[in-house]
Structure 1
Amino acid sequence: MTFSDEEQSLAFEMKRTKRNVLTFFLCIGLLIIGILGYGIYWAFFDMNRLPTGSFLDQSSSPNGTYTIKAYLTNGGATTGYALRAELIFNNNAQKTKNIYWNDREENVHILWIDEDTVQINGHELELPHEKFDFRRNR
């Protein structure tokens, strides 16, 4: 049994159409998963969305390159206090960034080990890249 050229062409066109439709739906699915994943990260884990809080203390590095400001945040009736610390770059125009977030803390103790290493309430951080977030470090 042999197929004519027209039948073979029609079969090839159907396979190609099925492949294109499958590729389209796969791309749409991946896009939706990506948007949902980023939305969950943004809503629950992005340190730039932390509450501001009330100022507690600040400390500058030995050479004055960095300043760390600590804030106490009150989560309301359902959660306890939390401590947030932000890193300020004194010598350049880099944006301030949150480097410390821990729940169930009301006091802060900032100890500079050297110009790029700080210890906040027992958690040692290498600046400017390391962060401590209790939600990730359990």
Structure 2
Amino acid sequence: MNHLPKGVQLMSLTSPNQTYTISIYRTPKRGNAAGFSIRGELTTASSGERRNIYWGDKADHPKVEWKDENHVSINDKVLDVRSDTYDWRRE
């Protein structure tokens, strides 16, 4: 998850208490594969720390919603931003 392609930013959403921001990027697939992948990068406001928490396959129009201060839903995958990650390659 640390070496994912940057991509083009599609959106950025701040958590209800403004503790976190999730930025969503779209990256084209490499090689003969058609389509896009989606990368979700979490930023913690207090420290500025950034880390990838979401890497989704076959998605070029993400659906993103904060459920509460610590949980975000990205394409129907609900993640606790304090500890969870999602990587389609691990399914």
1:73 is aligned to 2:27:
yes
Given residue 11 of structure 2, which amino acid in structure 1 is its aligned partner?
D
Secondary structure of the structure 1 residue equivalent to 2:2: helix
Q: Identity of paired residues, percent?
A: 38
1:87 is aligned to 2:29:
no
Greater displacement, 73-82 / 95-104:
73-82
Paired residues for 1:41-120 under 5 Å = 47-79=1-33, 80-93=35-48, 95-120=49-74
Moved runs in structure 1, 4+ residues, more than 4 A? Answer: none
Bigger RCO (CA 8 Å, 6+ sep): 2
- TM-score normalised by L of structure 2: 0.92
Given residue 61 of structure 2, which amino acid in structure 1 is its aligned partner?
N
Distance 1:126 1:64 in 2: 15
- TM-score normalised by L of structure 1: 0.62
- Consecutive unaligned residues in structure 1, runs of 5 or more: 1-46
Bigger fraction of residues in helix? 1
- Consecutive unaligned residues in structure 2, runs of 5 or more: none
Greater displacement, 64-73 / 126-135:
126-135
| TM-superposed deviation, 1:77 | 4.4
Which protein shows a greater Rg? 1
Given residue 115 of structure 1, which amino acid in structure 2 is its aligned partner?
E
RMSD of aligned C-alpha atoms?
1.1
